[in-house]
Amino acid sequence: MASAQDVTDPAVQALIAAINAGDRAAFFGALAPGATMSDDDTDRDLASWADREIFTVHGHMEVESAADEGRSLIAAFRNDTWGDMRTRWAFTITGGKISRFETGQA
């Protein structure tokens, strides 16, 4: 099993740490201005999604496997709404920040 140590991209490392710490400011600090995201192939409003799926429901991510410095991952994600889920994540990095991420059930 992989771990967060297999994620070497600093922006992705920062995002995972922010999710696991429940740190909304650090989460948005890892994102480029105007960053976008999708969940299960549907574009979402990033701020409302993050609040609903992470920050108000104690979201937590454990990396299971990582490729491309962590820009592509499979993670065990859990929150108080959905419980435990196996999820996929893909990150686009622009200027050292995450400009887009795509997630969904794996």
Q: What is the pLDDT of residues 16-64, one digit of tens each?
A: 999 999 999 999 999 999 999 999 999 999 999 999 999 999 999 999 9
Q: What are phi and psi of 99, to 5 degrees?
A: -95, -20
State residue 99's pLDDT score: 98
Structural domains of the chain sorted by starting position, each given as residue range(s) with its CATH number in brackets: 4-105 (3.10.450.50)
pLDDT cut 90: percent of the chain above it: 94
State residue 4's pLDDT score: 60
**Residue 39, CB half-sphere, CA atoms under 13 Å: how many?**
10
pLDDT at residue 68 greater than cutoff 80: yes
